[in-house]
Amino acid sequence: MRRIIFNVLMILLAFTIQNCIFPLLPFLSASPNLLLILTFSFGFMHGKEAGMYYGLLAGLLMDLFYSGPFGFYTLIFVYMGYVNGIATKYYYEDYVTLPLIMSIANELVYNSYIYVFRFLIRKKMRIGYYFTNLVLPEIIFTVVTTLLVYRLFLILNRHLEEIEKRGDSTIV
Amino acid sequence: MESKRSKYILIILTVFCVLLIGLTSIHDEWLTPLRTGVGYFLIPIQSGVNRAGSVIYDEIVDYSKLREALEENKEMKEIITQLTEENTALQAEEFELERLRKLYDLDQEYGRYEKIGARVIANDSSNWFQIFRINKGSKDGIKVDMNVVAGGGLVGIVTDVGANYSTVRSIIDDSSRVSGMAMQSGDTCIVAGDLTLFKEGRLRITTVMKESDVKDGDKIITSNISSVFLPGILIGYASDITNDSNNITKSGYLIPVAEFDSIQEVLVITELKADMMVEEEPESVEDTSAESPSEEGTDESPSESGES
């Protein structure tokens, strides 16, 4: 329970930082996609169903921020949580290579989704330009952030789990 | 058992999202209550974080600027003596300019519009879209399609309004289309945002008639025939106007007046073009019938999305 509240707060915090702090830093030509990192790591750590719910929350926040068709971001984030949740059987605490590869894959899928449904649909064909100028910097930033944030999560989550276990055992 | 249940939930959520996407692309106004509700909760957080962030950031910037300023100060003092001399000469010319401006009625027209100030509290952090959120909403009298200016030039248009916030799409967004015209010749054109250009700080100007007289350096302002943009707001300056391969139209680039990478405060013009047109309708019916209102600037707009 405590872990869920913690994770939900993390998503809210990530959303605010992403939209209110990063744009203030003009030297960042791109910024890490924190919501994406959180969604896929929660899916990866806690399984399909949990990943889906966290994805739902992250997606809804994004949809409420943008004024386009509602549900656009919710859809991709729900799937991201779910699909990454499948990989949860390979989840092994100190193993960081897999999450890094997954963050690249997720960024690629996420950005292609935006490109196809928001740009290609309007006959904007310069995919090479978009890739080198938008997608690639974001992937690099996201991977670096994953490297830092994922470790932190593992430690915090382990901590919370321990507290929970201790709490359970005292009741029982 | 668990995986089956999560599969069902996934399917339900998918259907729900797809339905919602379909519904809201037709009726966006259905979501206003929801967005407003969440706004009450989220906007104070965003405002707070934004304020804290900008305070810290400003402090750092101030300190580094102080050093530069001290050095500059020395140089400036020398320059001042030179400038005072030049200034007297220029002042004489200034009076002349003022007279001529009045003569041509080129006095900045949008000065007469009612405006309210607002603070930018959130930006889109990904580079795909150029939208931002301001801390004034329907409580302050802001409505959808109101024009937003900053730094003397057009910045964007309000696309979504909650009680205490509104979302603005800037004119450099890839889907933005503004109907503009050259200030001197009155020739119309379309000013379009382009993702591949915004890093260079430029926009695209398209569909300028070949015989029209738009030159590099011309002031481009919002045109009279636009359905959502008020007339006479400065957008920027034309540059690199060349003939298109189809030999009918010309196109080029526009350097905007507003600086988009450092917008913190904006002014929202609280007049709507739609209201203006209702008042003027008896005189100029053809303007309103030329294009359906509130369509301009969106992707779907047939009249103003002429992309080659």
Nearest to B125 among A23, A119, A122 (CB): A23
User: Quick check: pTM over 0.80?
Assistant: no
Which of A:26-55 have CB within 8 Å of B? 26, 30-31, 33, 48-49, 52
**Contacts (Cβ under 8 Å, ≥6 apart) of A74:** A55, A56, A59, A60, A62, A63, B13, B17, B20
Q: Is the pLDDT of residue A133 over 80?
A: yes
The domains of chain A, with CATH numbers, are: 2-171 (1.10.1760)
Mean pLDDT of successive 10-residue segments in chain B (308 residues)? 77 87 78 78 81 81 84 85 80 74 53 80 80 89 90 88 88 89 86 85 86 84 87 88 84 87 83 76 44 42 40
User: CB-hemisphere CA count at 13 Å for A42?
Assistant: 31
CA distance B142 to chain A (A): 16
User: CB-hemisphere CA count at 13 Å for A120?
Assistant: 10
Nearest to B131 among A66, A111, A137 (CB): A66
Domain boundaries, chain B: 177-262
Model confidence at A168, pLDDT cuts 50, 70, 90, reads low
Nearest to A114 among B28, B121, B128 (CB): B128
Question: Are B10 and A78 in contact (CB < 8 Å)?
Answer: yes
Q: Does A70 touch chain B (CB under 8 A)?
A: yes
The SS3 assignment for B80 reads helix
Contact predicate A134/B127, CB 8 Å = yes
Question: Are A64 and B199 in contact (CB < 8 Å)?
Answer: no
CATH class of B177-262: mainly beta
Contact predicate B256/B203, CB 8 Å = yes
ipTM for the predicted complex comes to 0.73
Residues of chain B in contact with residue A85, where contact means CB-CB under 8 angstroms, are 6
The SS3 assignment for B266 reads strand
Residues of chain B in contact with residue A19, where contact means CB-CB under 8 angstroms, are 46, 122-125, 133
Nearest chain A alpha carbon to B41:
A12
Contact predicate B174/A114, CB 8 Å = no
CA distance B29 to chain A (A): 10
Nearest to A24 among B10, B19, B57 (CB): B57
Question: Are A74 and B20 in contact (CB < 8 Å)?
Answer: yes
Contact predicate B154/B268, CB 8 Å = no
CB atoms within 10 A of CB B54: 18
Q: What percent of chain A has pLDDT over 90?
A: 17
Which of A25, A31, A64 to mutate to test binding with chain B, by most B CBs within 10 Å of its CB? A64
CA distance A75 to B14: 6
Question: Are B21 and A20 in contact (CB < 8 Å)?
Answer: no
B139-145 long-range contacts, CB within 8 A, separation 24+ = B139/B163, B139/B164, B140/B116, B141/B116, B141/B270, B142/B116, B142/B118, B142/B166, B142/B268, B142/B270, B143/B272, B144/B294, B145/B228, B145/B272, B145/B273, B145/B274, B145/B294
CA distance A151 to chain B (A): 24
Provide the pLDDT for residue A78: 92
Model confidence at A77, pLDDT cuts 50, 70, 90, reads very high
Nearest chain B alpha carbon to A81:
B10
CA distance B270 to chain A (A): 20
Amino acid at B21: I
Provide the pLDDT for residue A30: 77
Ramachandran sector of residue B167 (left: φ over 0; alpha: ψ -120 to 50; beta: rest): beta
Which of A:111-170 have CB within 8 Å of B? 111, 114-115, 118-119, 122-124, 126, 129-130, 133-134, 137-138
For residues A108-131, give the mean pLDDT: 87
